[in-house]
A and B are shown apart, each in its own frame.
Chain A
């Protein structure tokens, strides 16, 4: 029981999702399995007693979060930071990064048909994407990938929570790699 209380204390005090092994650092008696067990106890307890918050898996960790039905009340308070929403272009660019990572800005530009410099900078500033390396080719362009903040922002438990391409109306999973030439890609590839 003490384990559950310790884990609860840590989750209560934390402002970011924590993984089981991070929580396990708190005390000698805790290991990852003990933390997982404690988390299960807490989750059941919160759900059964109808607490205003619940234990949610976010960004490969867990976090205490209020249940959605209390959102309207919370939004009235200045002391509660209002959630920030991304613009349409930012979401488009983020979608491209999420599915094509690692991806260069030129590729984002190509898919969107619009210069994405500003949008990419915004996403970088908000730490939703990060530089993951440099690509081959002219100028060795910087390549971007999503960060754990990305999962936090959308409340994804893991990257598996992204909508899978086969669920989507169009299937373009096997898009041929972006070519330098203007050789047209096979229009039937999508079917």
Chain B
């Protein structure tokens, strides 16, 4: 796309317009809107009645030098040039029947006005910044950009890495705990033993366990028996390993041993005193 070609298509090839072209340093502008606004303002153009053809010609002339630069920068200017041409084309077409006020320039105008507002705000911010720059707080340090990981120097020896690796603890394997809820309450077994002891003088352990098949009943009954034995509510007797285990009445059976047990449990302390061994 050459400027002259576009200009001729727009019907602005006549010399009077061509000499109207301005010399513009595109480097100075923060983008196409900035440039466009500059063109409008320096020529004192009514922003609501922009002569699109003239402005387009000036705009294209101004950005011609951009073509030597990278597409990155030129792209936005070229896009604006394209939409200027598009607007001009829209103005040549008849207006839509349902909208007499339709102006293809409207969006551009509102963008230009908003951009001008932004520029005004930016200049006020600049004033505020300048004022702030003359006041020093005790520790006003501009935030330093964080160093990127890629920028960190990599001057580490293999030995250092090896030593560091040795210093670190091996990752602990997550411990697995198996929790099985007690389906049988110790309390029930205590009641069972105490109740039995009130009826009979002594009973063999396996008789107490017999009605239940699950092992846990045996375990809980034994624990209950040991606990009661420790409190001398019962006494346990076994002549030799693996021989029948007998449970006898203990000296505290009709005493307050049970009450003391329940109280101590509420307080959360385990036994009352050290057991003197199970007979």
- Contact partners of A92 in chain B: CB under 8 A: 30, 118-119, 122
Q: Which of B106-132 contact A (CB under 8 A)?
A: 106-107, 109-111, 113-126, 128-132
Distance in Å from the Cβ of B40 to the closest Cβ of chain A?
A: 13
- Contact partners of B143 in chain A: CB under 8 A: 125-127, 149
Q: Which residue of A lies closest to B30 (CB)?
A: A89
Q: How far is the CA of A88 from the CA of B124 in the complex (A)?
A: 12
Q: Quick one: which of A91, A153, A185 contacts B122, CB cutoff 8 A?
A: A91
Establish whether residues B122 and A94, one from each chain, have CB atoms under 8 Å apart when the complex forms: yes
Given contacts A113-B33, A190-B110, contact A96 B138 (CB under 8 A): no
Q: Mark A39-72, 1 if CB is under 8 A from B, else 0.
A: 0000000000000000010100001111110110
- Chain B, interface SS category: helix
Q: Which of A58-111 contact B (CB under 8 A)?
A: 58, 63-68, 70-71, 74, 80-81, 83-86, 88-89, 91-92, 94-96, 98-99, 110-111
Q: Which of B135-150 contact A (CB under 8 A)?
A: 135-143, 145-146
Q: Which of A1-15 contact B (CB under 8 A)?
A: 12-15
- Contact partners of A126 in chain B: CB under 8 A: 142-143, 145
With an 8 A cutoff between CB atoms, is B218 at the interface? no
With an 8 A cutoff between CB atoms, is A139 at the interface? no
Chain A: interface size category: 35 or more
Establish whether residues B115 and A111, one from each chain, have CB atoms under 8 Å apart when the complex forms: yes
- Contact partners of B116 in chain A: CB under 8 A: 170
- Contact partners of A81 in chain B: CB under 8 A: 140-142
Chain B: interface size category: 35 or more
- Contact partners of B121 in chain A: CB under 8 A: 95, 98-99, 162-163, 168
With an 8 A cutoff between CB atoms, is B103 at the interface? yes
Q: Quick one: which of A64, A68, A111 contacts B118, CB cutoff 8 A?
A: A111
With an 8 A cutoff between CB atoms, is A134 at the interface? no
Q: How far is the CA of A94 from the CA of B113 in the complex (A)?
A: 17
Distance in Å from the Cβ of B64 to the closest Cβ of chain A?
A: 19
Establish whether residues B34 and A186, one from each chain, have CB atoms under 8 Å apart when the complex forms: no
With an 8 A cutoff between CB atoms, is B32 at the interface? yes
Distance in Å from the Cβ of B254 to the closest Cβ of chain A?
A: 61
Q: Which of B54-87 contact A (CB under 8 A)?
A: 76, 80
Q: How far is the CA of A189 from the CA of B249 in the complex (A)?
A: 102
Q: How far is the CA of A187 from the CA of B145 in the complex (A)?
A: 42
Q: Quick one: which of A16, A83, A113, A161 contacts B142, CB cutoff 8 A?
A: A83
With an 8 A cutoff between CB atoms, is A177 at the interface? no
Binding site for A on B (CB under 8 A): 30-34, 48, 76, 80, 102-107, 109-111, 113-126, 128-143, 145-146
Binding site for B on A (CB under 8 A): 12-16, 56, 58, 63-68, 70-71, 74, 80-81, 83-86, 88-89, 91-92, 94-96, 98-99, 110-115, 125-127, 149, 153-156, 161-163, 165, 168-170, 172, 175, 182-187, 189-190
